[in-house]
Chains A and B, each alone.
Chain A
C-alpha cells in the first residue's frame, strides 16, 4: 500500500512538472558568433527571460566561416532555429526572397532605427525590412600602448606618420610592427583594403558612385589602397604568408606585435587576453586635416524564421532586441559591437568608447563590396580577398588588380557594362 502511494506521488510530480514545462516556449537562436556564447548565456538570455517568463532562449552558434552554408542547409531542411542572426545584405535578402525570413516592417520597434541602419536588411526598394539591426563594427587599428611608449612613438594620424612609426618599430626590432597574416585571406580585404580604403574613395560618395557605375575599380581611388597595402608586406612578421587569423590575434595579445589592423569585434577577446594597455587609432588620412572616413559596417541583425512554430514569442524577443534596454546590455556585454538604435548608449569599455567616438569625427560608410556588388559570379568580395593578398605579397601591381576586378564585375553587373 505504502509503495503504491509513493508511486502515485511520483506520478503526480512528474505530471505537474511536465505541464509547467509545456507552457514554456523555447526559441532557438542561430548565430555565427560563437565567441559570444558566454555573453549570451550569462547576460542577454537571463535578462530577457527575467522579463518574459514562459519564453526560454537557446543560443546555438556555428563557426563563422560555415554559418551561411550551415544555415542555408538547415533552412532548406526545415531544421533551423526560430530566430536567425542575419548577415548583412544579399545573404539575408536571398533568405527573405526564398521565404525563410518573415517581413518585420510592421513591427513597431523597427522605428527605433535609422534608414541607414535598416538598409542592410531591406529589399532593394526599401519596402520590406526583415531583420532587426543589432550592431555594427568599426574598423581601425589597435595598438600596444606600452610598446608605443617604450619606443617613443606618437599615435599616427597621417599615412606618412603611420609608415614612419612602422619603420621605427621595425628598426628597433623588439616588436613585430604589424600583426596580420595572409593565410586566411579575408583579413587582408576586411582589415586591410576596406579598413584604409574609405579614406581614398571618400566613403559613401565613392561607394555609391561605384554601385551606380560612375566610378570604376580601375580608378585611382580604388587602386591606391592596393598600393598602400603593398607597402604593408615588409612590416608583417616572418612567414606571414602562412600566418592565420588566430595566429595574428595571439601574436598581438601576447605582446609580440605593436599594431593590429582590427575590427572593433576584437575588443572583447583582446580585453581578456592582453595584459598590456591597448589603444586604438583610426585609419590614417593622406594629408593632415583631410576629412576622415571610417568603415562603420552594419554587421549583425536578427530575424525570424518564417517557419517558426512560435512566431509570437519570436516577435516578442525581436521587439525586445529593438528596445534601448537590449542596446544597453548588448553594447556593453559585447564591446566592439556598437548598437545601431537611435537612442545613444553609454559604453563603459575605454577601447570601445575610442572606436565609437570616431563616429562623431569622421564620415561613416560600410564595406564597399557588400551591397549589391557581390551578387554575381565572380563574387567581388571573394575576389577582393585574393586581390588584397596579392597586393600585400607584391604578386600583382595595383593597376593589374583593379583591372582584373573590374573585368570580373563588368561581366555581370549592368551599370558597369
Chain B
C-alpha cells in the first residue's frame, strides 16, 4: 500500500489568494455581520443578539424606510432587466451582423460610458437634465416637444426611473460585450445548416442564436442583480445621501450609508448600519442561490 504523497504545492499555491481574500473580504464581511449583533449603550458596546434586525423589520420607523428602499431597489433592478439587458442583446445581435460597417466604432462608443466614474456620469446627466442649464429642455424645444419636459430628477414619480435609465445608459455595454462574445462562438456550420433548412434572418436569431446564448443571459442577469442591489454611487452622486425627493430614490445602499455614517444632524449608528448591510448580504445571497440552484442547473446546454 503506497499512500499518496501529500501534495504541498497545492497549499503553497493557494495560500496567497486565500490569505489576501480572507484579509480583505471574508474577515470584514463576518466582522460586519458580527457588528450587527451589538448596540452602543453609554459609550460601550453591548451584545443584543438579533434585536437590531427586529428593529429594522418591525419598528415602523425603520421598517418603513427599509421596505421603501427594498421596493425601490427591485424597481431599479426591474428597469435594468427590462431595458438594459434586451437592449444589450439587441445591440450585440446587430454588431455581430457580418455586413455591418464601423462595427468596431459603435462597439467602443457604446462601451465607453462603462469605464466612466459614477460621479462623472451622475454629474453629467444631472446637468443634461437640469431644467435651468440642461440641454434636454432645449433639445426637446427644438423639435417642438418642450411640453414633454419635466424636472425629472426632482419629481417623486420619475426620479428613480430616470436614474435607473441613466445607469442603463452607463452599463448597457457590459451585456452587449458578453453577448457579443457568446454570439461569436456560435459556429458558422450550425447557422449554415439552419439556412439549408430555411431558417434565416430574424428566425435564425430566435431559433438558433438565442437558445445558444441563454447561459450568457443568465450570467448577465445575475451580475445585474448583484450590481443593482449593491448600487449606491450613482444615487449618492446625483441625489445625495438623503436620496431625494422624499426618499423616492432611496435604495438599500444609500439607506445603509446614511444609517452607518450619519447625515447632517443624524449621528451614525454603525450597528444598525451593519444590520442593514447584513440584510443586503442576505438578499443578494438568496437571489444568487435561487439562480445557481433553481435556474442554472436546469438550463439546457448545447454542445457546440
Q: How far is the CA of A395 from the CA of B248 in the complex (A)?
A: 14
Cβ-based interface call for B74 (8 A): no
Name the residue on B nearest A381 (C-beta).
Answer: B265
A268 to B240, CA, bound (A): 25
Q: Which residue of B lies closest to A88 (CB)?
A: B265
Do residues B267 and A94 form an inter-chain contact, with CB atoms below 8 A? yes
Task: State whether the Cβ of A184 lies closer than 8 Å to any Cβ in chain B.
Answer: yes
- Picked from B61, B126, B155, B264, the residue with its CB within 8 Å of the CB of A411 is B61
Report yes or no: A182 in contact with B264, Cβ–Cβ below 8 A. no
What is the bound-complex CA distance between A381 and B242, given in angstroms? 12
Interface residues of B in 212-267 (CB under 8 A from A): 239-242, 244-247, 261-267
B151 within 8 Å of A by Cβ? yes
B113 to chain A: which residues have CB within 8 Å? none
A68 pairs with B262, CB closer than 8 A: yes
Tally of B interface residues using CB under 8 Å: 34
Q: Check B262–A241 contact: CB distance below 8 A.
A: no
CB-CB under 8 A from B43, the residues of chain A are 97-99
Among A98, A237, A382, A389, point to the contact of B265 (Cβ < 8 A). A382
Please give the distance in Å from A309's CB to the nearest CB on chain B: 23
Q: Is the CB of A185 within 8 A of B263?
A: no
Q: Mark A347-371, 1 if CB is under 8 A from B, else 0.
A: 0000000000000000000000110
- Contact yes or no, A242 B265, CB < 8 A: no
Q: Does A61 contact B (CB under 8 A)?
A: no
A30 an interface residue at 8 Å Cβ cutoff? no
- The binding surface of chain B is classed by DSSP as loop
| Beta-carbon contact of B267 and A90 below 8 Å | yes
Query: In the bound complex, what is the Cα–Cα distance between A82 and B104 (angstroms)?
Result: 55
Report yes or no: B132 in contact with A379, Cβ–Cβ below 8 A: no
C-alpha gap A369/B265 in the complex (Å):
9
The proximity string for B residues 137-167 relative to A, scoring 1 for CB distances below 8 Å and 0 otherwise, is 1000000000001111111100000000000
Cα–Cα, bound, A374→B263 (Å): 11
Q: Is the CB of B268 within 8 A of A69?
A: yes
Cβ of B245: which chain A residues have Cβ within 8 Å of it?
182-183, 185, 241, 389
Residue numbers of A with Cβ under 8 A of B are 65, 68-69, 72-73, 89-91, 94, 97-99, 181-186, 237-244, 247, 251, 369-370, 374, 377-379, 381-382, 385-386, 389-390, 395, 408, 411
Residues of B within 8 A of A (CB): 43, 61-62, 126, 129-133, 137, 149-156, 239-242, 244-247, 261-268
List 15 A-B pairs, Cβ < 8 Å: A68-B264, A72-B262, A73-B261, A98-B43, A182-B244, A186-B264, A239-B137, A240-B131, A242-B151, A242-B152, A374-B265, A379-B264, A379-B265, A379-B266, A385-B242
